[in-house]
Amino acid sequence: MRENSKLRSAVLDTLWNNPVIGMAIYDGETGVLKDANAAFLDLLDSRFRTKKTLGLPIEQCLPEMDLSGLKDIFHRTLSSNLPFHSDLIRLNRPQMGPIQIAMTVLALNLDAGSPRYLLMVASERKPGPALPQFWNILDNQTRHLLARHFHLSARELDIIAECLQGKKNRQIADDLHIGISTVKRHLESAYRKMGITSSRSLPLSILAVLQQMAPAPAELTVMPNSNSQVA
């Protein structure tokens, strides 16, 4: 099928101009924030949410923030070429208080070489009740690893994610709008590929795969830099 360049351009343009979804491009080689849309700039301190900050090292775009945690994520994404996603990044802005954002970081392969640029996609979230840790275990990065390690299909991963929330087959079928026999068939296939016989073995089987990757924080807090002077 021939690529529809006009449609692709329209989709990207719509995302970039979305007032809710913040998008930015980061140059991992030079440490520069190359570009960002208005929604991403709105996440910054009001004194620095200007296009004038772009093209500068990211530390100069956020001069009062300790960015070591974010830069660790950038480095890991570039080196592994695997996406990172978290719904629990808390950004503490001086004089403005904390906000919670969801962020996905993707490596952009613009040429045949190693990835150099990162696409950051962020949206502001209102704080909500803390969920049990296993509810969020199948983020995008974990799904990619499980699919590659066990050769699981997307539907099998969907059903496993439901199982990890303690749901029974009937509830899973209702949530995913499929038949209960379909749920059972996919579960049997997933268990066979993973070498287990029941949902009780799922957490240990998944954690064994996660141990092969660098640990990612369940929650990342970007705090004001202790060396900064707040006016």
Structure tokens at 223: 């705090």
Kindly state whether residues 124 and 138 are assigned to the same domain: no
* Domain finish residue from 128, 143, 178: 128
- Which amino acid does the sequence have at 117? Y
Kindly state whether residues 84 and 159 are assigned to the same domain: no
- Residue where the block lists tokens 């929604």: 39
Kindly state whether residues 119 and 195 are assigned to the same domain: no
Nearest residue to 225 (alpha-carbon basis) of 98, 59, 88 = 59
Kindly state whether residues 159 and 191 are assigned to the same domain: yes
Count of C-beta atoms within a 10 Å radius of residue 111: 8
Domain CATH for 142: 1.10.10.10
pLDDT by residue (tens digit) across 176-192? Answer: 889 999 999 999 999 99
Structure tokens at 214: 């660098």
- Please indicate, yes or no, if residue 53 is contained in any of the structural domains: yes
- Please indicate, yes or no, if residue 178 is contained in any of the structural domains: yes
CA gap 10, 12 in Å, rounded = 6
Look at 122 and 214; give whichever has higher pLDDT. 122
Kindly state whether residues 24 and 105 are assigned to the same domain: yes
Kindly state whether residues 47 and 143 are assigned to the same domain: no
- Please indicate, yes or no, if residue 106 is contained in any of the structural domains: yes
Kindly state whether residues 20 and 73 are assigned to the same domain: yes
Domain CATH for 52: 3.30.450.20
Query: Would you give the distance in Å from CA 104 to the centre of its chain?
Result: 3
Range of the domain at 29: 5-128
Kindly state whether residues 45 and 68 are assigned to the same domain: yes
pLDDT-derived band at 156 (thresholds 50, 70, 90) equals: very high
Average pLDDT, the chain: 76
Kindly state whether residues 105 and 151 are assigned to the same domain: no
In terms of average pLDDT, the best of 5-14, 111-120, 141-150 is: 141-150
Kindly state whether residues 116 and 40 are assigned to the same domain: yes
- Please indicate, yes or no, if residue 221 is contained in any of the structural domains: no
pLDDT by residue (tens digit) across 190-213? Answer: 999 998 888 878 877 877 776 665
Left if phi > 0, otherwise alpha if psi is -120 to 50, otherwise beta: which for 42?
alpha
Kindly state whether residues 63 and 35 are assigned to the same domain: yes
Compute, in degrees rounded to 10, the torsion defined by CA atoms 203, 206, 208, 210: -120
Look at 112 and 152; give whichever has higher pLDDT. 152
Please tell me the predicted confidence (pLDDT) of residue 183: 93
- Please indicate, yes or no, if residue 142 is contained in any of the structural domains: yes
Count: domains in the chain: 2
Compute, in degrees rounded to 10, the torsion defined by CA atoms 216, 218, 223, 225: -20
- Please indicate, yes or no, if residue 155 is contained in any of the structural domains: yes
Please tell me the predicted confidence (pLDDT) of residue 135: 40
Kindly state whether residues 81 and 145 are assigned to the same domain: no
Please tell me the predicted confidence (pLDDT) of residue 136: 45
pLDDT-derived band at 45 (thresholds 50, 70, 90) equals: low
Across the beta sheet with 32-36, the strand order is 32-36, 22-27, 117-125, 97-108, 84-93, 220-222
